Every structure is written in structure tokens, then in C-alpha cells.
Structure 1
């Protein structure tokens, strides 16, 4: 069972670059054909470094986390076999651009419980992550809600 006393606990601090190559991979996955995303010459001509990146770029933080995406889940004591990702919400404070280096600080923002409709107690854990750029300016806040379902 997750201890409610973890509220306020800092889970991780991760620095990672917003790389042009990763954004080109994302553009391919989204079938984006604009050469600015795929051709270095076109990207320079289009001023790619000045283009804001896709809003979900903060998901890259999981690829930089030691232990991978489940490291924070393990740190707070959620049984990964009973884990659901309830929701995610973003608040955009300033543009994130190619070449930025982001620092993500994740904290437990809240822990609550309620009875599930199928029986068992569900535990909800809110994780807030603040992303700042290389100038220490806040650029994005992300809030994830993780749910540990009741015992089967």
C-alpha cells in the first residue's frame, strides 16, 4: 500500500536536450512531410531552431530517466502489475525550442484513495513535473495521475 506521507517527495531531477534528430523521428511518426523537419539544409533555411517543438516533447524525459519510465513508479511503491495511467495534463508557460536543454523536477503532489466499483481500494498519486530551460525559465508543467487498482 502506498504511504500518503510521500506527498511532497521529490522523485527525480533529469536534464535532457531537445534534439533535432529526435524531433525528425517524431515528425516521421506523425507523417509530417515538411522538409524543415527532415533535411538539415531546409531546417537551417526555415529557422528550425526558432520553431516551437510539439507539445508532447516532455515525454522524452522518460528516455533519459535512470531505470526508465517506471523508475518513479517504483520509487513511490506502486505495484506495476496494478498500475493505470489515469491522465496527463500540460500547462505551457513558454515555447520550448530545438536546442533547448530542459531540466525536469518531478514531485508527488498528492495521494488519495477511494473504493473501486469492482471492489478494492484504488490509490491515486498525482505527480507534478516542472520543466525549466537552460536559462532556468519555467516552460512547461505536467501533471500525471497514476492509479494503483485494488488487489485482485
Structure 2
């Protein structure tokens, strides 16, 4: 499955197989490390526009808002929120638009790598690794066949989405 950009959405292709349940993940880069979010939470991937409108008195991790086909979308710098610095916007940088608990927002990423399907048995507990990222922000870790680690993020926890619904 190819990563779709701009005017198209990314579809959830999680499925039950004879080997067990699988999850489909969007893998992206932040600071030369691989992170992932479940595809079912992703609405679309867009190029970063020329300008993002700043929001006065917003937290440091809020870059501002964009107008995406008539919808105002807040854009967050996930790296700032995770205390990893600030995303340097480059040609391959993207905004991943996420819908979590009926709240739509975008996150900046260095680049989008791939859509990957993994068996849930491949997802290890976040407790199994030593990370500078708070464990509450992680859903787990996937070790690839070539030895890479993919960190599966819990974006609802990172941006405290559930508190907006109470």
C-alpha cells in the first residue's frame, strides 16, 4: 500500500489473518528514528504549506493552524512535545493529519517512510526498552527483521486528547 498525500485519505487495512491479528502502521521519521501511528487514526498526509498561522498564547509545541480545504486544523510539533527539539522543515517534511476521539489535528514529521503491516505478536511492550520518551506516550515497539526499531506512539496520550472530551 502506498502512502497517499494531499487530497486523498489513508484507509485502515487492519485484518485478522490465519497467523493472528495484524495492525497497519504509518512509519515516519523524527530525528533519524522510526516512529509509527496506526493507519486507522490517520486521515491524510499533506505537504507543509508556505505558512502556518500562529496562534497567540499557544503552547510551544503548537505551530499554529492551517486551512485544509475549508477546515481549520491545528498543527503540532510532536518533537517539541516529546522534548526532542524542533522539526527542521525540509522538502520531505509532512503534516500527518490525525483523527483521535473525533478531534482532528496535524503533527509535523521529518518524513513519511512507509505503510507497514505487522502481526500484533511483533509488538513488544514499551517497558522493554530504555527510552528518553515517557512510557505513557508509547503503545509498544516493533523490531524489524533488519534490526531497526519502530516506536509505536499513542498520540492521544502525547497531546492529552482525552482531557478535551471530559
TM band (smaller chain): under 0.3
Structure number with greater Rg is 1
More strand by share: 2
* TM-score, normalization by structure 2: 0.26
More helix by share: 1
* TM-score, normalization by structure 1: 0.27
Higher relative contact order (Cα pairs below 8 Å, separated by 6+ residues)? 1
